[in-house]
Amino acid sequence: MDPTTLELRLRPQWDAVAPVWRTCRGMLERCGLPSDEADSLAMVAQELLENAVKYGAPGADEIRLSLRVEEEGVIVEVKSRVGEDESHVRAFGGAVQRIRECPDSFGAYVERLKQAARRPYSGGSELGLARIAYEGRCALEFRVDSGYLAVSAVYRR
């Protein structure tokens, strides 16, 4: 078993993904990452998994998580089944694009916090994606491949 890679197949349910933060954090620390980096990258994995559960296709079979530690950085990827309704994928792509285009990840995060304070309590705030870019210092990428939405967060040391 390669200690620098963690691959999990999870039920697309909240109770299945909730404990994964601890699993990821443990693996990252065993790979020699400082605890601060392990904290933030475990958060990145958790946020991507939570997004996949919240917005994934109803009745989907599983969510796949891949966490890979490389010399130059860490790659977190979450794959989830795309439903027949493509509006979610379009909305998600737009959200990723807005985060990617923002040159100031701190400013983007603060703006989402302000929006969260003003809006009625609901999901879809983009706060998790903004947090991945700011707190996790990750670049977000996504692609649709063979009926799966694959979202990657790439951290470069």
Partner 1 sequence: MVDPVRRWMEGELTLEAHEGPDELRLVWRGRSADREPGRFLLPLLTQHVDACGRRGVRLCLDFSALEYMNSSTFTPVVKAIDAARRAGVAIVLEYSQAKKWQALSFSALRTFETSDGRVAVLGR
| CA–CA separation, 147 and 84 (whole Å) | 9
Q: Is 21 in the site for partner 1 (CB under 8 A)?
A: yes
Amino acid identity, residue 150?
A: A
Least Cβ distance, residue 108 to partner 1 (angstroms): 10
Q: Is 90 in the site for partner 1 (CB under 8 A)?
A: no
| CA–CA separation, 81 and 145 (whole Å) | 10
Tell which one of 5, 16, 29, 39 touches partner 1 (CB under 8 A).
Answer: 39
Burial 63-98 (b: 16+ CB within 10 A, else e): bbbbbebeeeebbbbbbbbbbeeeeebeebeebbee
Least Cβ distance, residue 110 to partner 1 (angstroms): 5
The contact set with partner 1 (CB under 8 A) reads 14, 18, 21, 36, 39-40, 42-43, 46-47, 50, 53-54, 106, 109-110, 113-114, 116-118, 121, 123, 125, 127-128, 131, 134-135
